Structure 1
Amino acid sequence: MIPAAFDYVAPTTVDDAVRALADAGEDAKVLAGGQSLLPVLRMRLATPTKLIDLGRIPELRGVREDGDMLVIGAMTTHYDVQRDPLVAEHAALLRKATDTVADPQVRHRGTFGGSIAHADPAGDLLAPALALDAEMVMTGMDGRRTVPAEEFFADFFTTSIRQGEILLEVRVPKYTGWHAHYEKFNRVAQAWSMVGVAAAIRTDGDTIAEARVGLTNMSSVPVRATAVEQALVGRPATAESINAAAQQAAEGTSPATDGNADAAYRQHLARVLTGRALTSAVSA
Structure 2
Amino acid sequence: MVAGGHSLLPMMKLRIANPEYLVDINDLVPELGYVITDPTLVRIGAMTRHREILESDTLAAVCPIFRDAERVIADPVVRNRGTLGGSLCQADPAEDLSTVCTVLDAVCLARGPSGEREIAIDDFMVGPYETAVAHNELLVEVRIPLRHNTSSAYAKVERRVGDWAVTAAGASITLDGDTIAAVRVGLTAVNPDRTALAELSQALLGRPATEETFAEAGRQASQACDPVTDIRGTAEYKRHLASELTIRTLRTATERVRNIPEPEGN
Partner of 1:135: 107
Partner of 2:57: 85
Q: In the TM superposition, what whole-angstrom CA distance separates every residue of 1:95-120 from its partner, at most 9, and x where no partner exists?
A: 32222211222111111111011011
Q: In the TM superposition, what whole-angstrom CA distance separates every residue of 1:98-155 from its partner, at most 9, and x where no partner exists?
A: 2221122211111111101101110111111111111111122232222111111111
Q: In the TM superposition, what whole-angstrom CA distance separates every residue of 1:235-255 from its partner, at most 9, and x where no partner exists?
A: 332222211222111344333
Partner of 1:194: 166
Segment of structure 1 superposing worse, 90-99 or 121-130: 90-99
Partner of 2:142: 170
Q: Aligned letter for 1:270?
A: A
Using the size of structure 2 for normalisation, the TM-score is 0.86
Moved over 6 A (4+): 220-224
Q: Does 1:244 align with 2:216?
A: yes
Q: In the TM superposition, what whole-angstrom CA distance separates every residue of 1:11-67 from its partner, at most 9, and x where no partner exists?
A: xxxxxxxxxxxxxxxxxxx00111112223445544434321111112111012477
Q: Does 1:39 align with 2:10?
A: yes
**In 2: Cα distance, 1:201 partner to 1:258 partner:** 32
- Shift of the 179–61 alpha-carbon distance from structure 1 to 2, 3 Å rule, reads same
SS in 1 for 2:226: coil
Q: Aligned letter for 1:116?
A: L
SS in 2 for 1:52: coil
Partner of 1:204: 176
Using the size of structure 1 for normalisation, the TM-score is 0.81
- Shift of the 103–135 alpha-carbon distance from structure 1 to 2, 3 Å rule, reads same
Unaligned runs of 5+ in 2: 257-266
The one of 263, 274, 284 equivalent to 2:235 is: 263
Partner of 1:23: none
**In 1: Cα distance, 2:233 partner to 2:90 partner:** 23
Does the CA contact (< 8 Å) of 2:148 and 2:174 recur in 1?
no
Partner of 1:61: 33
Report deviation, 1:177: 4.3
- Shift of the 218–40 alpha-carbon distance from structure 1 to 2, 3 Å rule, reads closer
State how 1:208-227 maps to structure 2 within 5 Å: 208-219=180-191, 225-227=197-199
Does the CA contact (< 8 Å) of 1:195 and 1:269 recur in 2?
yes
Q: Aligned letter for 2:55?
A: R
Does the CA contact (< 8 Å) of 2:72 and 2:161 recur in 1?
no
Segment of structure 1 superposing worse, 229-238 or 206-215: 229-238
**In 2: Cα distance, 1:221 partner to 1:128 partner:** 16
**In 2: Cα distance, 1:75 partner to 1:104 partner:** 17
Q: Does 1:277 align with 2:249?
A: yes
Segment of structure 1 superposing worse, 210-219 or 198-207: 198-207
The one of 199, 203, 206 equivalent to 1:234 is: 206
**In 1: Cα distance, 2:216 partner to 2:14 partner:** 46
Count of matched residue positions in the alignment of Structure 1 and Structure 2 = 255
SS in 1 for 2:27: coil
Q: Does 1:182 align with 2:154?
A: yes
Does the CA contact (< 8 Å) of 1:88 and 1:95 recur in 2?
yes
Report deviation, 1:209: 2.6
Does the CA contact (< 8 Å) of 2:192 and 2:225 recur in 1?
no
